[in-house]
Structure 1
């Protein structure tokens, strides 16, 4: 099959908002990749259209809102006849995968996990219970659901090497079903580096992150209650700007000008505010995947201080662009040092550039992804024959989901008939 004639259907969990979350940036990168590969793309989701979503029409991508448990999706599949279907997170595969199998059985199915949701969810619970996450994730329902979804797809995109190892070593998943695909970023050029604000031109600390994501809210609360007071003892005139999309009232309530803790809400341009900040603070205590805010800070020449969870999967064997610590007192001490010591700050900036250019090289990761796609397309029958567990799970999922969907459809039809 020629890629130039390929039709891609993306089933989104939400509308992509690159300026609101790392997940939105990730989806944009994938869409740009498939456009470069000459795919004709249709993006659909059950979510309501968002005012902050990227304009897909300008990218020449068709889009529409779809209904769950409704036969209209089957008609859409027949109309598009996709060669490839990309599921945005495992929940969309659960909802629509069986319909794709019935209507377009030859379509290649790819799952973009974004991050492993079972890992994120069980880490939250483990944090609250003060126990290791591995005590929870093997028995959690969400783990079984997400792993089953990985098996039912032809390929799953994994954003972190840590999560790749977890799936292969702890859950014994065939590496053939997984592909490591982190952020795909343009290299930072020397001219871009020299054009960034320097140490003396920058001011204030910054924290940024979508507040719909619980780890971000917890990190800001942790900053406010335990870390920021320690920083202010040493730097009494310091300020920190708190940015993040979708702040609730409890977030706004943390605003305190006397303490230099300034809640600003959504950033109109995340890159601009990050480039003007001197140090980024991200004391993330649970979560999964790659933390987009920290990679963005590196792109903007802004040193960061974070935790082991925050740094997970980003720097590999390279030194961090600042400091990694789980201790609040050390966190504050390192923040003061980065804020006041220009040589230390400059070394951290350069280390961030090294991490971005070597770990998230767009050209390298796109070439590898393109290659694996071509191999899958050419050998799809063989790949599927070797994934019998996936076939088995497909069969049982089909039957249970099919009957549930038909039940809901019949229920809705009865409601309409009664109204008539």
Structure 2
């Protein structure tokens, strides 16, 4: 047991495991820390939401904090955590220097969720109708901020192998600062598999994804305008159910009963929705990280059709649980084939279970992850000594971000 360890997680938002993969991942991390006997406090400057997880039921202390306010300094100094986990680089920018100043011996971890600069550079290339190149990352403003944040931290948790590789080859980040930790899942019991709806019991295609996430909104537009008409041409009675948290009016307006394109909004139980569908469609044209919707499809025994970007870093050398296609005609044809061919469908389902078992089980990662944290803590001085660029950035951040924040705080105090 490690009862003397106190983890402070500073969240960009309060975790919503039923709204996004990011929320699910945060709950997984909390679970690892709690199982090790670590004390956990979760703090965030975000407003409460109706869909946030009940942190107290997880044995976690909840604390609301303010941006650009020295009340955080008082709070963190008193708490004196041994580990601080920043949820995304924007949170490290806001609070990292305060943690470094008030708790210099705390191990600073960054959970990247996905590489924001990669997602944005791909999105920009897509909007400009050109191919993405890794050189695009070097001119992306967000990359400068995100890489600085990674360098300032003692360790960054990476969810995708491709992103680890990019950081090391394009940005020359030392591998000692990176740690591969994908989505972490419990094994699927045989009894669970046996109780899943059968091929015959399942109906319709489904898309599911948080609409605040631009790649999801773009994928739904792509389905509506290009892919779904091709599928309906071959299967005139086909139905696509579109689910997702936070649908805007522009999403809802895509609903068309005549075309079998049904926009349902937030799913009360995402797993139930995916479990009862026969195929998941995820034609993502840009994005980064691991796609929670596709992992969820595998857990539910639901084959999927996605793109190269959708499947990136997800299955390693293993076979996909369905098909990967970037060409619209192929995408539509494979969707129809997989929907109608039971033998093909069962094999795809099996592939999904194998991917989870060999690549995402929590048991494959948790012990090594905790061991790695404790090892860095033991040699923290040495670890930081070898991260000169990080020390340099920390030095300059403390004299720039710090004074900008102090200025905002003073301005707020005067009520200007």
Category of TM-score, reference length = shorter chain: over 0.9
Residue 359 (1) aligns with residue 359 (2): yes
Structure 2 residue runs without a partner (length 5+) = none
Task: Give the Cα–Cα distance (whole angstroms) in 2 for the partners of residues 273 and 87 of structure 1.
Answer: 32
Q: 1:117, CA displacement in angstroms?
A: 0.5
Task: Give the Cα–Cα distance (whole angstroms) in 1 for the partners of residues 98 and 138 of structure 2.
Answer: 29
The SS at the match of 2:384 is helix
What is the match of residue 210 of structure 1? 210
The SS at the match of 1:288 is coil
State which drifts further: 188-197 or 171-180: 188-197
What is the match of residue 220 of structure 1? 220
Q: 1:124, CA displacement in angstroms?
A: 0.5
Moved over 3 A (4+): none
CA deviation string 1:140-196 (max 9, x = no partner): 111011111111000000000010111112211110000000011011122221111
Task: Give the Cα–Cα distance (whole angstroms) in 2 for the partners of residues 3 and 18 of structure 1.
Answer: 26
Q: 1:133, CA displacement in angstroms?
A: 3.9
CA deviation string 1:283-308 (max 9, x = no partner): 00000000000000000000000000
Residue 260 (1) aligns with residue 264 (2): no
8 Å contact 2:134–2:170 — kept in the other structure?
Answer: no
What is the match of residue 375 of structure 2? 375
Q: 1:134, CA displacement in angstroms?
A: 2.2
State which drifts further: 365-374 or 106-115: 365-374
* TM-score (normalised: structure 2): 0.98
* TM-score (normalised: structure 1): 0.97
Task: Give the Cα–Cα distance (whole angstroms) in 1 for the partners of residues 140 and 279 of structure 2.
Answer: 38
What is the match of residue 97 of structure 1? 96
Task: Give the Cα–Cα distance (whole angstroms) in 2 for the partners of residues 414 and 271 of structure 1.
Answer: 50
Q: 1:409, CA displacement in angstroms?
A: 2.0
Task: Give the Cα–Cα distance (whole angstroms) in 2 for the partners of residues 70 and 274 of structure 1.
Answer: 43
Structure 1 residue runs without a partner (length 5+) = none
Residue 336 (1) aligns with residue 363 (2): no
What is the match of residue 302 of structure 2? 302
What is the match of residue 241 of structure 2? 241
What is the match of residue 16 of structure 1? 15
Task: Give the Cα–Cα distance (whole angstroms) in 1 for the partners of residues 271 and 415 of structure 2.
Answer: 50
Q: 1:3, CA displacement in angstroms?
A: 2.6
Task: Give the Cα–Cα distance (whole angstroms) in 2 for the partners of residues 409 and 237 of structure 1.
Answer: 60
Q: 1:235, CA displacement in angstroms?
A: 0.9
What is the match of residue 128 of structure 1? 127
Q: 1:206, CA displacement in angstroms?
A: 0.3
Q: 1:407, CA displacement in angstroms?
A: 1.2
Q: 1:135, CA displacement in angstroms?
A: 3.7
What is the match of residue 61 of structure 2? 62
CA deviation string 1:335-389 (max 9, x = no partner): 0001100000000000000001101011111112111111111111110111111
Q: 1:44, CA displacement in angstroms?
A: 0.9
Task: Give the Cα–Cα distance (whole angstroms) in 2 for the partners of residues 300 and 154 of structure 1.
Answer: 36
Task: Give the Cα–Cα distance (whole angstroms) in 2 for the partners of residues 220 and 405 of structure 1.
Answer: 39
Alignment RMSD? 1.0
Please give the residue correspondences for 1:129-148 in structure 2 after superposition, counting only pairs within 5 Å: 129-131=128-130, 132-148=132-148
What is the match of residue 48 of structure 1? 47
Q: 1:402, CA displacement in angstroms?
A: 1.5
The SS at the match of 2:196 is coil
What is the match of residue 170 of structure 1? 170
CA deviation string 1:82-127 (max 9, x = no partner): 0000000000000000000110000000000000000011111011
What is the match of residue 76 of structure 2? 77
Task: Give the Cα–Cα distance (whole angstroms) in 1 for the partners of residues 415 and 12 of structure 2.
Answer: 28
The SS at the match of 1:201 is coil
Task: Give the Cα–Cα distance (whole angstroms) in 1 for the partners of residues 263 and 413 of structure 2.
Answer: 49
What is the match of residue 185 of structure 2? 185
Task: Give the Cα–Cα distance (whole angstroms) in 2 for the partners of residues 127 and 394 of structure 1.
Answer: 34
CA deviation string 1:247-274 (max 9, x = no partner): 0001010101111111100000010011
Task: Give the Cα–Cα distance (whole angstroms) in 1 for the partners of residues 133 and 37 of structure 2.
Answer: 42
The SS at the match of 1:367 is helix
Task: Give the Cα–Cα distance (whole angstroms) in 2 for the partners of residues 263 and 139 of structure 1.
Answer: 37
The SS at the match of 2:415 is helix
Task: Give the Cα–Cα distance (whole angstroms) in 2 for the partners of residues 219 and 268 of structure 1.
Answer: 22
